[in-house]
Structure 1
Amino acid sequence: MASHTAITPQEAADRLAIRELVDTYAHCADRRDAKGQMALFTEDTRFLVFMDATAAEPTQELHGRDSLAPVFDNLNVYRATTHFNGQSTITLDGDRASGESYCLAHHVSVDESGQRTLMIASIRYLDEFTKLDGDWYFAERRLMVDWTETRPSTP
């Protein structure tokens, strides 16, 4: 168990702002707000997707905020999604920070015959954050898929 020391009000505010950034990302994903998601990233961001978290190379690598639109729009293939954010760790260094956060992402699909399926993905995000003009942004986000499960679902 980690020992805790007193933190400054600024550090507390930064930690809260970063957690709100992570949660806003999930909220925008579930509301299909691709523009809102994109606004959470720096202009020169890097977004890497590892469909197998043990792989050395990413499945997909995107550079720049504008390149994120198709990835975020791809969530529209699902009838609904729900992202549950879990534990996270943050290391602050002035206007830079790094962190790891856990997420269980639920994806509901309905095929042409009306058959529903639920795909659950256990995801970890490895993040680099930067503070610009007082606001925190994702400078780099690595989406690491640890496992998935797909099963039939009822309405």
Structure 2
Amino acid sequence: MSELETRIDRLESLDSIRQLPAKYALTLDMRDIDMMVTLFPENVRVGKDASGRKALRAYMDRTLRSPFTGTSHHIGGHIIEFDDPDHAHGIVYSKNEHETPIEGGDDEWVIMQMMYVDNYVRQDGRWYFERRLPLYWYATDLNKPPVGDNKMRWPNSEATEGNFHKLFPSFAEYWERDGDHDGPVPEPAPLEGFLNAMRRGQAAPKVKVRAD
């Protein structure tokens, strides 16, 4: 392709990728599992031993029936970087609300703040999610602010620590030091290397995946 065609292709790819999280949120909230799985390639991995859209549909159908009766996902900032013309990665924020039934008691309205660490792939001219890794900061009843430790507080479950900050070492480093450090200010990251610069080689944390 010419330079102009390459630039146009990149702009069209950015627009297609940016729509994926919004489409995912809409299909999730409307429980249109058939449409949701079409946002992933035909050979999508589902756990350790399964693959394919049918397997993903069955998994999502089971997961979304409990513990939620309704959800609303609000998509925030989206950073996208390209590995090559047909592969990209990114991070997108999501603020979620869940109507959560409580057996033998009043239902709760659980709010959640999280981000998705995504990989995207283009196959046959169409962009898909290749993988979504959810990183959670908190989940709690609307009337119970999640201050303190162990911010993942689902009804009828033991409170646990989230992993919202685990991909980027800067958060822990910031609180470990007393004031500004003496190191040099780094040069701006490469155009397609901002997220890698922030991670500084940090491995992705282990995550128990929920359907959020």
* In 1: Cα distance, 2:105 partner to 2:58 partner: 26
Deviations 1:7-63 (A, max 9, x none): 92221111110011111011000000111111111123246xxxxxxxxxxxx6675
The equivalent of 1:75 in structure 2 is: 64
Distance 1:125 1:63, change over 3 A: farther
Structure 2 gap ranges (5+): 1-5, 145-212
**CA-to-partner distance for each residue in 1:121-152, whole Å, 9 max, x for gaps?**
22211111111111101111112222211246
SS state at 1:98 partner: strand
Unmatched tracts of structure 1, length 5 or more = 1-6, 48-59
Aligned pairs for 1:109-124 within 5 A? 109-111=100-102, 115-124=106-115
Give the TM-score, by structure 1 length: 0.75
Tell me the CA shift for residue 69 of structure 1. 2.3
Give the total of aligned pairs: 135
Which contiguous aligned blocks of 4+ residues in structure 1 show a shift greater than 6 angstroms?
A: none
Structure 2 counterpart of 1:69, which letter?
A: R
**Higher RCO (CA 8 Å, separation ≥ 6 residues):** 1
Checking the alignment, whether the CA contact within 8 Å between 2:10 and 2:85 is kept in structure 1 is: no
**Cα distance in 1, alignment partners of residues 48 and 91 from structure 2:** 19
How many percent of aligned residue pairs carry the same amino acid? 28
Say whether residues 1:104 and 2:95 are aligned partners.
yes
Once structures 1 and 2 are overlaid, which stretch shifts more, 29-38 or 66-75? 66-75
In our comparison, the structure showing a higher alpha carbon Rg is: 2
Moved more, 86-95 or 143-152: 143-152
* Residue number in structure 1 paired with 2:172: none
**Superposed CA RMSD:** 2.4
SS of 2:26's partner is: helix
